[in-house]
Amino acid sequence: MYSFNNKTVWITGASSGIGEALAMELASEGSTVIISSHEPDELERVKKKLKVITGDIHMLVFDLSDPEAVEAAAKKVLKDFGRVDVLMNNGGISQRALAVETSIDVDRLVMEIDYFAGVILAKALLPGMIERGEGYFGVTSTITGKFGFPMRSAYSAAKHALFGFYESLLAENYKHGIRVTMFSPGRVRTNISVSSVDKDGKARGIIDPGQANGIPPDKCARKMVRSMKTGKRDVLIGGKELIMVYAYKFFRRIYYRWVRNMSPY
């Protein structure tokens, strides 16, 4: 059973939603928590909430879309804390646009935030983890990282890429004590659809009806932490929408017919 007590945990995308709920959950587990986001005011709000639980809370503001800022953040955390035991690679952005209409700049933006930023952090932290013989990566993907879905071409592609990278990383480094848990949430009541970008990279500003009726972030975060404690590798989180994963896996023809006619919202 993995213990988060006295571990240094770094959470990206921690200014709201799943990241904020993870910070609350892990602070309660006795972790030293580092929260990051590009939104300083929201991070400060989360930090104040966490101080009710523990004083061992730290915040670092940087933008996942800026590779140089991501590298600088990793260097700062390692300099200030000496090590990171657990990286919760949670920060990300979604998309709501047809592939044919989506600017390639939007594809690159989503891939930079959802894929490359986490890879930069993992590569920066991994050598120290290997040297200590222990390290854990918790990675927030999505069920559309398991299959394609309308209006999500860039988002789905970036989340598919996370599986390829982290499964390879785990295969290479399991013998060094490195562990990975991939999370595939379905509908969680967060702002991800509000901040999702359209074909031109502009924030959509509207919550999807499905998202509004999703499970609360704290329920999602509790399952994530429990899954890491027991060493699960690939975790589905959500409600009835998870049937899409099983349809894709076991009833592919039904899935293809289904997804062609499904509302993307």
Residue spans of the domains in the chain: they are 8-260
Task: Over range 25-51, report the average pLDDT.
Answer: 96
Indicate whether 219 pLDDT > 90. yes
Mean residue pLDDT across the chain:
96
Mark residue 58 as left, alpha or beta (left: phi above 0; alpha: psi -120 to 50; beta: remaining): beta
Could you tell me what percent of the chain has a pLDDT over 90?
Answer: 95
The length of the chain, given as a count of residues:
265
Indicate whether 159 pLDDT > 90. yes
Task: Over range 151-166, report the average pLDDT.
Answer: 98
Q: Please, which pLDDT band fits residue 2 given cuts at 50, 70 and 90? A: very high
Q: Classify strands 32-37 and 86-89 as parallel, antiparallel or unpaired.
A: unpaired
Half-sphere exposure of 239 (CA within 13 A, CB side): 12
Looking at residue 264, its pLDDT comes to 87
Looking at residue 171, its pLDDT comes to 98
Q: How many whole angstroms separate alpha carbon 86 and alpha carbon 49?
A: 21
Burial class of residue 225, CB neighbours in 10 A (0-12, 13-18, 19+): buried
Task: Over range 127-146, report the average pLDDT.
Answer: 98
Q: How many whole angstroms separate alpha carbon 254 and alpha carbon 240?
A: 16
Indicate whether 210 pLDDT > 90. no
Indicate whether 103 pLDDT > 90. yes
Q: Classify strands 178-185 and 234-237 as parallel, antiparallel or unpaired.
A: parallel
Indicate whether 193 pLDDT > 90. yes
Q: Please, which pLDDT band fits residue 156 given cuts at 50, 70 and 90? A: very high
Q: Classify strands 8-11 and 32-37 as parallel, antiparallel or unpaired.
A: parallel
Indicate whether 127 pLDDT > 90. yes
Indicate whether 98 pLDDT > 90. yes
Looking at residue 54, its pLDDT comes to 82
DSSP state of 116: I
Indicate whether 263 pLDDT > 90. no
Looking at residue 27, its pLDDT comes to 96
Indicate whether 39 pLDDT > 90. yes
Single-letter residue type at 153: S
Mark residue 5 as left, alpha or beta (left: phi above 0; alpha: psi -120 to 50; beta: remaining): beta
CA distances from 87 to 23, 30, 252 (A): 12, 15, 34
Indicate whether 173 pLDDT > 90. yes
8-260 placed in CATH 3.30.70.100: no
Looking at residue 55, its pLDDT comes to 79
Task: Please list the active-site residues.
Answer: 155
Percent of the chain as helix, strand, coil, to the nearest 5: 50, 15, 35
The residue written with tokens 């945990």 in the block is 9
Instruction: Pick 67 or 265 by higher pLDDT.
Output: 67
Residue range 48-75, pLDDT digits in tens: 999 989 878 999 999 999 999 999 999 9
Q: How many whole angstroms separate alpha carbon 87 and alpha carbon 98?
A: 32
Looking at residue 192, its pLDDT comes to 94
Whole-structure pTM value: 0.95
Indicate whether 160 pLDDT > 90. yes
Return the biggest CA–CA distance within the chain: 53
